[in-house]
Amino acid sequence: MGSTAIAPRHVEASGRSRTTRVRAVAAATVLAMVALLLPMAMSASRAANIVGEGFTVTPADLAFILKQIKIAEAHSAALAAQGPGPSTDPVRCQSMIGTGPNQIESPLISFGLRTVDGSCNNLQPGQATYGAADQTFPRLTDPAFRPAEDATAFGGSPTSS
């Protein structure tokens, strides 16, 4: 009898291994899924990137913005007329309050633009420096600091070591 070569079990008659065929099917499946899902993802991102979509500015919005700018310009002109002085001077901030066309009727109304350094953020008498730069923050109580190492991350009881 002649010798016959017996092919291993994982090699089929066509000469390709089962593993190679499974990999090829998996790769084809992934490519098909990407080809189907990519156009949907691209159209969704294009729709979300339309500039100004859903943003509407009404004439009332523009009138409100213009009023704020006019109040800020009038305040800036009043400060320039007063000459140089400390930006935390309460008298300098009171030029924004009044019954004029570019003034705020009440310090409780949040109209107008404030200065860059934060002065005149609060128009209440005696509170012109509240919110201004380089001011100490007022404390309501005495500070009580505890060492961070003696407690848990959430301020619970001390951990045992």
Cβ(72)–Cβ(112) below 8 Å: yes
The whole-number pLDDT of residue 60 equals 94
The whole-number pLDDT of residue 11 equals 47
Residue 156: Cβ within 10 Å count = 8
> What DSSP character marks residue 70?
H
* Domain boundaries defined on the chain: 59-135
Q: Which two tokens stand for residue 28?
A: 């084809």
Task: Write out residues in the chain with pLDDT < 50, as ranges.
Answer: 11-12
The whole-number pLDDT of residue 61 equals 93
The whole-number pLDDT of residue 32 equals 76
What is the Cα–Cα distance from 25 to 31, expressed in whole angstroms? 10
